[in-house]
Structure 1
């Protein structure tokens, strides 16, 4: 049977992708950030999954204000890197897994989640930057990817509780898939940042670290944090952190299994005007 073996959490700052693409990763400003992912690259090479279900938010690329799905699951065989106004990133095409994606869709929708199914879309930095951070700059991504786009751009955004519940439903779906697949789930976005208004540039280190502690140790309580707390403490874009709760909800301990092993934890500011958080949790 398929099994979720680990969850990975990381910010997806677009400037990180630009730094890699323009050969700036070795510059003093960027070196500390990329060093924080050295362990992660080695870990991923050793624990290479067959499929990654990658939770991210689209930045008005595949979806516009004309059409805003709350949860959109990619069911296509391939996804091209999106042109976000300055050309597509020079990264490999993303190959999907339509069979597993269709099974997850069937299972999760029967589990009372109303997903939007997307058979064709381009994927922006929200998805490709995490792949670059974890995989470097390969000629081809070393596993298949199922995109799960979450609306955290235009209110109303889903609650942390609902995202956590969706992660639980995804775990049940993967567990019921009749193939011996190693599946990882990645939650991306965040951490504290605000891109506009009087508080533009806000970074709250103390809140970020406390939130990471709670995500690891008490994910149920973490899922109960109301939207206003994210806005107040982590800035208007801090709401992206609810996407990490989808990945956390898919871990075995939430369903009564063993506590996950913290394989790596990293935090860095700034990257552009954003706090970068990163975490790897492994099911025993």
Structure 2
């Protein structure tokens, strides 16, 4: 049977991709951020997951405001990246796992989650930056991927509870898969940040640190927040916390915190990193 080995949270801002392309790892601005990731990479090298389920939000490359699904899942043989500006070069496609994708899709539909199923899918920095951070220079090209895209752009967006519940259902789906594969769940985005309006540049370290603590120990404590609550407390883009909650929902109730880092500011964003070992 399939096994979920753990979960990772990470920021996905495009400036990280530009720094990776320029190998700007040691500058004063970036060093503390990039120095956070070797423990996660070492764990991945040790555990060797077969599949990475990457939960992210699209920023206009595959979906736009005229057609923005609440939940979309890739079921393709591969996922292509294209130029989206930001100074990030295009990178080679990522291999998919259509068989596991369809199993998850069918299981989620049976639990009454309405999905957009993508047999072709372009992936932007929300997906590619985390993959580059976890597997630099594609050290593990054999890792297959399943993109799970959640709307955090066009309101109304799904609530923390809705995303956590879908994560729970996704975890059940993966555990019921009949093949011996190891799966890591990556929740991307955030933490607090706002890119527009009078509060542009807004950060809330106290709330961020509270969320990072609760994600590990008591994620249910975050489920009563509404989307307006998250906008007020974490900024208009801080609603990406729901992507972390979906990841956490897919794991067991009890997890082991292996690594934690919080870095501000990174491109007007509070960057959070968690590595959680699943204990089922």
**TM-score, scaled relative to structure 1:** 0.95
Is the alpha carbon distance of 1:213 and 1:169 closer, same or farther for their aligned partners in structure 2, counting shifts above 3 Å? same
What is the aligned partner in structure 2 of residue 172 from structure 1? 172
Is the alpha carbon distance of 1:34 and 1:87 closer, same or farther for their aligned partners in structure 2, counting shifts above 3 Å? closer
What is the aligned partner in structure 1 of residue 14 from structure 2? 14
Unaligned runs of 5+ in 1: 254-258
After TM superposition, which residue ranges in structure 1, 4 or more long, deviate above 4 angstroms?
Answer: none
Q: Please state whether the residue corresponding to 2:122 is helix, strand or coil.
A: coil
- Measure the CA separation in 2 of the matches of 1:219 and 1:139: 32
What is the aligned partner in structure 2 of residue 239 from structure 1? 239
What is the aligned partner in structure 1 of residue 219 from structure 2? 219
| Residues 268 and 277 in structure 1, CA contact (< 8 A), matched pair in contact too | yes
The correspondence of residues 56-75 of structure 1 with structure 2, limited to 5 A, is 56-75=56-75
| Residues 190 and 237 in structure 2, CA contact (< 8 A), matched pair in contact too | yes
Q: Please state whether the residue corresponding to 1:209 is helix, strand or coil.
A: helix
Q: Please state whether the residue corresponding to 1:137 is helix, strand or coil.
A: helix
Q: What is the CA distance between 1:74 and its match in structure 2?
A: 0.3
| Residues 82 and 90 in structure 2, CA contact (< 8 A), matched pair in contact too | no
Unaligned runs of 5+ in 2: none
Q: What is the CA distance between 1:218 and its match in structure 2?
A: 1.1
**TM-score, scaled relative to structure 2:** 0.96
Deviation track 1:219-254 (CA, whole Å, cap 9, x = no partner) reads: 11212211122111111100011011111001111x
Provide the aligned C-alpha RMSD in A. 1.3
What is the aligned partner in structure 2 of residue 256 from structure 1? none
Q: What is the CA distance between 1:90 and its match in structure 2?
A: 4.2
Q: What is the CA distance between 1:142 and its match in structure 2?
A: 4.1
| Residues 260 and 282 in structure 1, CA contact (< 8 A), matched pair in contact too | yes
Is the alpha carbon distance of 1:87 and 1:95 closer, same or farther for their aligned partners in structure 2, counting shifts above 3 Å? farther
Tell me how many residue pairs correspond in the alignment. Answer: 279
- Measure the CA separation in 2 of the matches of 1:261 and 1:271: 27
- Measure the CA separation in 2 of the matches of 1:225 and 1:139: 39
Q: What is the CA distance between 1:48 and its match in structure 2?
A: 1.6
Deviation track 1:157-200 (CA, whole Å, cap 9, x = no partner) reads: 00000000001110111111110010111110110000001110
What is the aligned partner in structure 2 of residue 163 from structure 1? 163
